[in-house]
Chain A
Amino acid sequence: MTSQVSSPAEQNDEADGAVVGGQRRPAAGGKDVRRVDRVIIRFAGDSGDGMQLTGDRFTSETATFGNDLSTLPNFPAEIRAPAGTLPGVSSFQLHFADHDILTPGDAPSVLVAMNPAALKANIGDVPRGAEVIVNTDEFTKRAMQKVGYETSPLEDGSLDGFQVHPVPLTTLTVEALKEFDLSRKDAGRSKNMFALGLLSWMYHRPTEGTERFLKTKFAKKPEIAAANIAAFRAGWNFGETTEDFAVSYEVAPAATAFPPGTYRNISGNLALSYGLIAAARQADLPLYLGSYPITPASDILHELSKHKNFGVRTFQAEDEIAGIGAALGAAFGGSLAVTTTSGPGVALKSETIGLAVSLELPLLIVDIQRGGPSTGLPTKTEQADLLQAMYGRNGEAPVPIVAPRTPADCFDVALEAARIAVTYRTPVFLLSDGYLANGSEPWRIPETDELPDLRTQFASGTNHTLDDGTEVFWPFKRDPGTLARPWAVPGTPGLEHRIGGIEKQDGTGNISYDPANHDFMVRTRQAKVDGIEVPDLEVDDANGDARLLVLGWGSTYGPITAAVRRLRAAGQSIAQAHLRHLNPFPRNLGEVLKRYDKVVIPEMNLGQLATLIRAEHLVDAVSYNQVNGMPFKAEQLATALKEAIDG
C-alpha cells in the first residue's frame, strides 16, 4: 500500500485523474457522455474478491479498444489474508488514455472499493473530486470496526469531497442471479463481474472479449459461466438505467500514439517468457529452464511449461541451487539455458553463477527483483539487487547485466541477454522487477523476421597446433575479437575435454595454480566482459540546452519519462537517458555524463546505480531514492527534478 498522496486534480500528463471538464454530449437514453483524454481506475477489494481478475479483464477490454494503457497490480503476499482486514486488501490500478502514456498513473480518478478495508487502504491516494464506488453491502458495523471506522464513512461526511456512488453490489448481483440455482453466497461471488460490467458501461468498453473469456474459463461449468456473464451484463445495465450514474466517459483510441502494426496487451513476465522462446528459436538451440518457484518470477516457469511443443524443457528443481545447476548442465550440453528467480534465489545461486563465470558457458539468470533484504516484500517491487548482480560472488567474477524498462521491453531484453550470453560464452543477468513483471502495456507484435539472428557455432574440430605439429583442441583458446572460448558440446568427437571451477591454464584449460596464469585469467575474464559490444547510450535532450541529466535504469523509465515530459511542458530544459546495459556500461556513458552540470539518478533502492556511476566515472551524481515497494509517481519525480534544476 502506498502512503503517498499526490497533489490532486492537476490536469496534466501522468498526474492523477480527477476528471475535470471534458466535452459533454448527451447520449442515447438522455445520459451525458463526457469525452476525456485519460482515466485512472483502481479496483480494490479483499484478496478473495477477484480484483486482479477484474483488473485484467478491464485491461483487456481497454487494450482491444485501442487505448494506450499501463497497469499496476498490487496484492498481499498472503494467498488469503484474513477477510476484511487492511493487510488483505488487493488492488489493481489501470491508466488508459487516447495518447501515449508511460505509467499506471499517480492517483485514481475512480476508486472501486468492495469493502471498508479497501476504502480505508486506498482513499488516501484518491484526489478530491474523484469518483468513489463503494459496495454498501459490505459496510456492516462489524466490518467497519474491523478496520477502525468508528462511524460509517458513507454517512459521517468524511467522503464529502468525493463523488461517492453507494451501490449495493452484492445484493444487486444476488438479485440478478436469482434465476440461477446458486446459494446467496455463491451468487455473491460474481459481484466483481457486476462491478466490471458497471465500469465497462461507464467507460464504453467493448464487452465481447470478457464474455468470451468467461465462457472459456468456465467451459467445464457452463452454469457458472452463465451466472458470471449475467452478473456482468446486469452491472452494465445498472449503469445504463440508474440515475446515480448520470455520466459516462469516452476515451478515444490512442490512434496516433502507436506506429502501425498489430498490438496486444502484455505483462512483463509474459513478454520475458516469449522473449526466451524467441531467443532459443533465433539461436537455433533448445531452451532449458531450471527453476524453483519464487514470487514474482514463478509466472515465467508457468508460462514456459506451457510451450513444450517449442522443444522447451522446464525443470522444477528441488531448490534454487539445483535450478541453476541443471541449467548450467544443460548449457554444457548445448542448450540455451535459463534460470529464473528473485533476489533471495540469486543469493542461493551465487556460487553456481561463479562457476558459470569460470566455465565460461552461456547462461541467463533472470532476477525479478522484489523488496528485500531476506524475504522482504515478496509481492512488491524494488531495484535493490543491482549490486548483488554486479558483485555478489566470491573472487573477481564479472557478469554482464541488462535490464528492461517497460513490460513489453522484457521481450527485447531477453533476446539481448541471450545475444550476449551466446556470443561471449558467459552468464548474463537480466534484472526485471515486480512492477514490470505484473504490470502490462500494449505491445506491437514483432514480425519474426525482424528478430535478431542469434545463431552461434559450436566447436567442431581442433583449434591449436602444438610445437610438434600435433593438432589439438584447446577449450580455453579464445576468439581474438570477443575473447569468447569455444563452446564444445559433448557428443563432438575429438573434442573431449574437462572443465571445472579450479583455475584453468590459459588455452589448455588444465588445472593451473600458477600465479601469473591466475592473474592473466582474472584479467582476461574481466576484459571479455568489459569488451562486450553494447549500443551507445542515447540521450533525449530536446532543447539541447539542458544542464541537468536524469539517468535511470529498469522500470523507473515510465515515471522518469513522465516527469520529464511534465517539466518540459512547464518550460524546463532537462535531458534524459536510460541504461539498458549496466555491465558493461555503454562506451559513451562517461562522455555523456560530463556534458551535464548535474546528474540525478532516481532509483527504487538507496543509490546502487549512483554508487557504480560515482565509482567508475568520478561524477558527483545525486541520488533520488524510494524503497516503499511501489514505483515512483510522476508528480513526485517532477517535483524532485525541478528542485534539482533550481538547486
Chain B
Amino acid sequence: MADTTLEGPTGSDTLLKLVPKAEGKQSMKDFKSDQEVRWCPGCGDYAVLAAVQGFMPELGLAKENIVFVSGIGCSSRFPYYMNTYGMHSIHGRAPAIATGLASSRRDLSVWVVTGDGDALSIGGNHLIHALRRNVNLKILLFNNRIYGLTKGQYSPTSEVGKITKSTPMGSLDAPFNPVSLAIGAEASFVARTVDSDRKHLTEVLRQAADHNGTALVEIYQNCNIFNDGAFEVLKDKQQAEEAVIRLEHGAPIRFGTDGSKGVVRDPATGDLKVVAVTPENEADLLIHDSRAASPTTAFALSRLADPDTLHHTPIGVFRDVDRPVYDTLMADQLDTAIEQHGKGDLAALLAGGDTWTVVG
C-alpha cells in the first residue's frame, strides 16, 4: 500500500529496487490483456506494443506493480492492451496524473504512453515540468508527425508546409524536435528509437527502465493511414545507412556505408558537423558520452537531423545522467519532518496555538 516509509536509495542505486519482483518467471503472454487490439492494420503501434510486452518479462517486476498511464490519441489506447494496472486519461494530462501516482507510490513502475499531439501540443506544459522535476516516470512518446485519431491534421512535429485537411495550403509553424525540447527541459534521460527496429527499441527500453527519474523515449512510429512512410528514409536499408546515426555510449559517432561518415566538433563554432571520415580526421571523431554532465553536446547531436528530410537522424540514448529524483526527495522530506518533529499527533495539532478552557 501507499508507503510513507520506504527508504530511498542512495547514490546510483536503482529505484527499481523499490518495486516488488515477480514471483515466477514471466512471459510476453502475461502482459497481454484480453482486449482486442484496435489500431488500424499496419499501424506502427503494434510493433511498439509487441516490443514492450516482450521486454516486460525481462524486467521481472510484479505486474500488479506496473502502471501504464496515457492521454488521448491512437497511442493512448496502449494501456488497455497491457495486462497491468492502467489508466487511459484525458488529452495531454498523463504526465500530471502519473506524477501524482509515482510520487505517492514509489513501489510502482509507472509508464506514460503519449503521442506527438498529446505530449507536445495540448500537454506540452505537463511534459516539460515532469522532465524538469525528474519524476520517476518512463515516458514513451509515439511520434508519427500527424494527428491520427482526429483523422489527419498536422501535428507539432509535422514538417513546415505539411498539406493536411486543416492546412490545405501547407502548415505554417516550425516543428518541435522532441529530443531537443526534452534536453532543454532538463531531462535526465532522452532517447530516440524507431518502431520497426525491435532490437534497438528494446535496448532503449532497457536503459530507460534502468534510469532513475524521468526517461523520455521518442519512438518514431509510422501512421500508415495519414502519414505513411514518414520515416521511410530511416527504415529503408539503403537510405538508412546514410540517414541514421546510431549513438552508442563510449563509441565514436560514425555512420554511412562502412562507417564512411562521422561527427566531429567544428573548432570554429563549437557546433557539431558531419564529415567524411579520413585517416587524418578519424582521431577527431566525437566519442558519444550520454553521461556527460553538460547537456550541450547531446543538444547539438539532436540538431544534426534535418527536420524535412530526416537525414542525419541520431537514434539511441542521447543523455542518461543521474540527478535527484522528485519522488525520492518528496519521500525524504516526509522522513525528515518525522525525524525533526516526530510522527504527527492530531490531537496536539488541533490543540496548538492559544487556547482557553470553558468549564461547565
Contacts and interface: CB of A to CB of B under 8 A. Distances in A.
Interface in B58-93: 62-67, 69, 72, 79-80, 82-90, 93
Contacts of A502: 88
A124 interface: no
Contacts of A319: 125
Contact of A60 (B2, B84, B338, B354): B354
Contacts of B103: 313, 315, 326, 330
Interface stretch (B49-57, B216-224, B301-309, B345-353): B345-353
Nearest to B65: A491
B129 interface: yes
Interface stretch (A165-173, A331-339, A568-576): A331-339
Give 6 nearest A-B pairs by CB, closest first.
A329-B100, A500-B88, A325-B96, A326-B100, A310-B344, A260-B360
B100 A327 contact: yes
A126 interface: no
Interface stretch (A31-39, A241-249, A262-270, A550-558): A262-270
Nearest to A66: B356
B265 interface: no
A259 B358 CA distance: 7
Contacts, number: 223
Interface in A231-265: 255, 258-265
Contacts of A264: 351-356
Contacts of A65: 356
A217 to B, nearest CB: 14
A326 B330 CA distance: 14
B357 interface: yes
A448 B349 CA distance: 11
A123 B31 CA distance: 73
Nearest to A307: B344
B105 interface: yes
Interface string A351-366: 1101100010000000
A409 to B, nearest CB: 15
Contact of A499 (B20, B64, B86, B344): B86
B340 interface: yes
A507 interface: no
Nearest to A335: B104
Interface string A301-312: 000000111111
A489 B350 CA distance: 31
A416 to B, nearest CB: 17
B126 A318 contact: yes
B85 A490 contact: yes
Given A262-B356, A498-B88, A491 B97 contact: no
A431 B90 CA distance: 25
Nearest to B5: A311
Interface in B83-132: 83-90, 93, 96-105, 107-108, 125-126, 129
Contact of A493 (B62, B101, B125): B62
Nearest to B108: A490
Nearest to B92: A321
Nearest to B343: A309
Contact of B85 (A278, A313, A326, A497): A497
A482 interface: no
Contact of A313 (B79, B129, B330, B358): B330
Contacts of A346: none
Nearest to A270: B353
Interface of B: 1-2, 4, 20, 33, 35, 62-67, 69, 72, 79-80, 82-90, 93, 96-105, 107-108, 125-126, 129, 330, 333-334, 336-338, 340-344, 346-347, 349-360
A531 interface: no
Contacts of B349: 274, 277, 307, 310
A340 to B, nearest CB: 14
A448 B347 contact: yes
A502 B350 CA distance: 43
A309 B108 contact: no
**How big is chain A's contact interface, by range?**
35 or more
Nearest to A212: B354
Nearest to A361: B87
Nearest to B70: A500
A322 interface: yes
A332 B337 CA distance: 25
B344 A322 contact: no
Contacts of B360: 259-260
Contacts of B69: 329
A64 B354 contact: yes
B11 to A, nearest CB: 24
B80 A498 contact: yes
A281 interface: yes
Interface stretch (A80-88, A105-113, A145-153, A283-291): A283-291
A326 B33 CA distance: 26
B351 A501 contact: no
Interface in A440-468: 445-448, 458
Contact of B97 (A255, A326, A354): A326
A331 B98 CA distance: 11
A263 B334 contact: no
Contacts of B357: 261-263
Given A262-B355, A328-B97, A329-B97, A490 B90 contact: no
Contact of A500 (B87, B333, B334): B87
A491 B21 CA distance: 11
A136 interface: no
A278 B32 CA distance: 42
B355 A333 contact: no
Contacts of B104: 286, 288, 313, 329-330, 333-335
Given A332-B101, A496-B83, 14 more contacts: A255-B358, A264-B353, A288-B104, A310-B344, A321-B126, A325-B89, A328-B97, A329-B87, A329-B97, A448-B346, A498-B80, A499-B87, A501-B90, A511-B35
A494 interface: yes
15 contacts: A259-B358, A264-B352, A278-B350, A307-B344, A308-B333, A321-B126, A322-B96, A326-B96, A326-B97, A334-B1, A445-B351, A491-B20, A491-B64, A493-B62, A511-B35
A492 interface: yes
Nearest to A319: B125
Contact of A326 (B35, B79, B99, B107): B99
Given A333-B100, A510-B35, A446 B350 contact: yes
Given A278-B350, A310-B344, A490-B64, A333 B99 contact: no
